[in-house]
Chain A
Amino acid sequence: MRLSFRDRSNFDMKVPLTWTAGVAVIIAAVIGVALLLGDRRETFQVQAYGVTKNVVDTLSAPVSSTLATPGRWTGNVFDMARDYVLAGSQNRQLREDVSSLRVWQDKAIAAENENQRLRAVLGLKTDPPIPMVTAHVIADSRGPFADTRLADAGRERGITPGNPVMSERGLVGRVVGVGHDVSRILLLTDIASRTPVLIDRTNARAILSGDGGPNPRLAYMRGQDPVKVGDRVLTSGDGGVFPRGLPVGVAVQGLDGAWRVRLDSDSSPIDFVRILLFTDFSQIADQKDAIAAGLPPLSSADAAEVAARVKTLSASAPAASPPAKAPAGAAAANATATAKTLANALAASKTQPAPKHPPPPPASAATTPPPDDGAQ
């Protein structure tokens, strides 16, 4: 082994540089391992994201934003060139889409009208629409070990960790870190991402697990043949992290035989997102107080009422709420399913007679299920 000595001649104790370099490597590795062990990236807690990451996000935001602007222009130029070349085939495809969507539009209008009447008859309380913030994406990481985006909207616009993020077509992910005017979005494809979803056709539940690839896996599916190729996948709302019914994508089967999802958001531009200011249950409730308080005692009359309600609900078909912003076809299918469910519920309901003059439908259309939804 070749030995060498410290550069400074006035150093008394001479240590071979190769050895000191080795010691430096060990110290640096220990620091790295300590940081790894202390990382809590997958949690929702604001503290878990860390001050360092927030500071770096805030500092890199203006730089990335400046670089992203010409990038967007360049991207637009490429898109225009591609559109020019593919104009003929795109036109033909769009004509087919329009003709099929007109049929769905008629169905959607009829189902929506029926929905509103049945909701009014049942006296269902609907949730207000979820406010949302539109933001530019200024940085995008797409590696196998981290898939995140940086958006140029933060705390000053009311964004909090846990807020769902959508593109113009489907769910993108959720906010995991928020700075003053910047926020970090964990994509559905990230290896740490776990999202509760349902198959629209069968109402089967699953967990959408990212693995760093473009198509996340459907894990923990229940039931026999719960999914087939082409099934629509929506958020289930289980756990209260996401509202129910947000469009996620379409079920496909991977080369490994595993069920995966082709994300709707893949086909939309990546340079802007919509952040839903949806507050999940874990943020609303003070967990410590909720646990400490416990549940109120259940009287025998209450127990009988609950049993009757459970029996009624299990007899009726499972509810499927419309997504916040679904494609026309999916929206119409959901609206039809909801109308059927509501009709069943109305028929089963004997304790609540219908008023002679039903109240007018709510001014704002609901984008989330009612608070007493069983799935939530």
Chain B
Amino acid sequence: MSLMQSTRPLDPWRWLGVPALACVVATIVFAIPIKVFGLLLPEPVFPMVLAFAWAVIRPSVIAPFVLMLLGLFLDVFWGGPMGLWGVSLLASYTVVLASRSIMTGQSRPMRQVWFAGATGLTMLTGFLISSVISLAVPNLLAVFWQFLATTVLYPFAHRLIERFEDADVRFR
């Protein structure tokens, strides 16, 4: 790769558009009403992968807005309060963005721990917002299951980071 190519900014469609679209499709697929041996499909928060990976890859002006749009899509598609997932995802995005220099050079297991922490922060924000809006405490076990289902998505975040982390040398 020549120096000119390496310093060329990332194409937003490649690292923002396509993954966002993939998250939308995955969310729709996992909303199919189906029981397998009496058990329902899990409901992971797919955009959490992007909230983590985008913040690690590089700072961006577009990413927070795309993340907010994805959050709004989750709110509308799942029938939740408008803004719940947008704010929750942005909370973890902000924390990861602020601490990305710490994560640089970390091993994969360590990053996985960071991802779990960021997911936990997202769920905690959602928990607090839901408690305030509905004046009721969400079921902790249900929150934990969604946290667990989301945490196992780390390989997708890792792949996205590996793919685009070095694409823009200004942020290495």
What is the interface of chain A, defined by CB distance below 8 A to chain B?
Answer: 2, 4, 7, 17-18, 20-22, 24-25, 27-29, 31-39, 41-42, 50, 52-53, 56-57, 60, 63-64, 67-68, 71-72, 74-75, 78-79, 82, 137-146, 148-150, 176-177, 184, 186, 190-192, 209-214, 269-271
State in angstroms the CA–CA spacing of A145 and B68 once bound together: 17
Task: Please state if B80 and A41 are interface contacts (CB–CB under 8 Å).
Answer: yes
Instruction: Name which residue of chain A comes closest to B145, CB basis.
Output: A144
Partner of A35, one of B33, B72, B137: B72
State in angstroms the CA–CA spacing of A271 and B35 once bound together: 9
Known A-B contacts A35-B82, A270-B35; the reply to A21 vs B134 at CB < 8 A is no
Partner of B40, one of A78, A142, A150: A142
- 10 A-B pairs in the complex with CB atoms less than 8 angstroms apart: A21-B59, A21-B64, A24-B60, A34-B83, A36-B84, A71-B33, A139-B28, A141-B77, A176-B79, A213-B142
Residues of A within 8 A of B60 (CB): 17, 21, 24
Instruction: Name which residue of chain B comes closest to A210, CB basis.
Output: B136
Q: How far is the CB of B25 from chain A (nearest CB, A)?
A: 9
Residues of B within 8 A of A32 (CB): 68, 71, 83, 86-87, 90
- Residue in A27, A79, A213 whose Cβ sees the most chain B Cβ within 10 Å: A213
Q: How far is the CB of A4 from chain B (nearest CB, A)?
A: 5
Partner of A36, one of B78, B82, B127, B139: B82
Residues of B within 8 A of A18 (CB): 59
Residues of A within 8 A of B9 (CB): 7
Partner of B80, one of A22, A25, A29, A145: A145
Known A-B contacts A28-B67, A191-B136; the reply to A141 vs B79 at CB < 8 A is yes
| Among all A-B residue pairs, the 5 with the closest Cβ atoms | A148-B79, A213-B139, A146-B80, A35-B83, A36-B83
B29 CB within 8 Å of chain A: yes
What is the interface of chain B, defined by CB distance below 8 A to chain A?
Answer: 9, 28-29, 31-38, 40, 43, 59-65, 67-68, 71-73, 75-84, 86-87, 90, 93-94, 97, 101, 126-127, 129-130, 133-134, 136-139, 141-143, 145-146, 170-171
State in angstroms the CA–CA spacing of A56 and B24 once bound together: 13
State in angstroms the CA–CA spacing of A21 and B82 once bound together: 23
Q: How far is the CB of B127 from chain A (nearest CB, A)?
A: 8
- Residue in A34, A42, A79, A191 whose Cβ sees the most chain B Cβ within 10 Å: A191
State in angstroms the CA–CA spacing of A284 and B147 once bound together: 43
Task: Please state if B61 and A212 are interface contacts (CB–CB under 8 Å).
Answer: no
Residues of B within 8 A of A137 (CB): 33
Partner of A17, one of B61, B79, B137: B61
Known A-B contacts A2-B171, A18-B59; the reply to A25 vs B93 at CB < 8 A is yes
Known A-B contacts A25-B97, A71-B32, A192-B134; the reply to A31 vs B59 at CB < 8 A is no
Instruction: Name which residue of chain B comes closest to A21, CB basis.
Output: B59
Task: Please state if B33 and A36 are interface contacts (CB–CB under 8 Å).
Answer: no
Known A-B contacts A64-B31, A191-B136; the reply to A29 vs B87 at CB < 8 A is yes
State in angstroms the CA–CA spacing of A31 and B34 once bound together: 35
Q: How far is the CB of B13 from chain A (nearest CB, A)?
A: 14
Task: Please state if B34 and A74 are interface contacts (CB–CB under 8 Å).
Answer: yes
Task: Please state if A53 and B93 are interface contacts (CB–CB under 8 Å).
Answer: no
Task: Please state if A36 and B129 are interface contacts (CB–CB under 8 Å).
Answer: yes
Q: How far is the CB of A215 from chain B (nearest CB, A)?
A: 9
Partner of B32, one of A21, A33, A140: A140
State in angstroms the CA–CA spacing of A86 and B141 once bound together: 29
Partner of B43, one of A28, A141, A177: A141
Partner of A145, one of B59, B82, B93, B126: B126
Task: Please state if B133 and A39 are interface contacts (CB–CB under 8 Å).
Answer: yes
Q: How far is the CB of B9 from chain A (nearest CB, A)?
A: 4
Task: Please state if B134 and A42 are interface contacts (CB–CB under 8 Å).
Answer: yes
Q: How far is the CB of A64 from chain B (nearest CB, A)?
A: 6
State in angstroms the CA–CA spacing of A176 and B80 once bound together: 12
Residues of A within 8 A of B101 (CB): 2
14 additional contacts (CB under 8 A) given A31-B68, A145-B81 = A24-B65, A32-B83, A33-B87, A63-B28, A68-B34, A79-B35, A141-B77, A145-B84, A145-B130, A146-B80, A148-B78, A212-B130, A269-B35, A271-B33
Task: Please state if B130 and A191 are interface contacts (CB–CB under 8 Å).
Answer: yes
State in angstroms the CA–CA spacing of A210 and B80 once bound together: 14
Partner of A28, one of B33, B79, B86, B145: B86
Q: How far is the CB of A47 from chain B (nearest CB, A)?
A: 14
Residues of A within 8 A of B33 (CB): 68, 71-72, 137-140, 149, 270-271
Known A-B contacts A146-B78, A192-B134; the reply to A68 vs B32 at CB < 8 A is yes
State in angstroms the CA–CA spacing of A143 and B37 once bound together: 20
Known A-B contacts A39-B82, A41-B81; the reply to A211 vs B137 at CB < 8 A is yes
Residues of B within 8 A of A22 (CB): 59, 97
State in angstroms the CA–CA spacing of A77 and B149 once bound together: 25
Partner of A72, one of B34, B93, B129, B142: B34
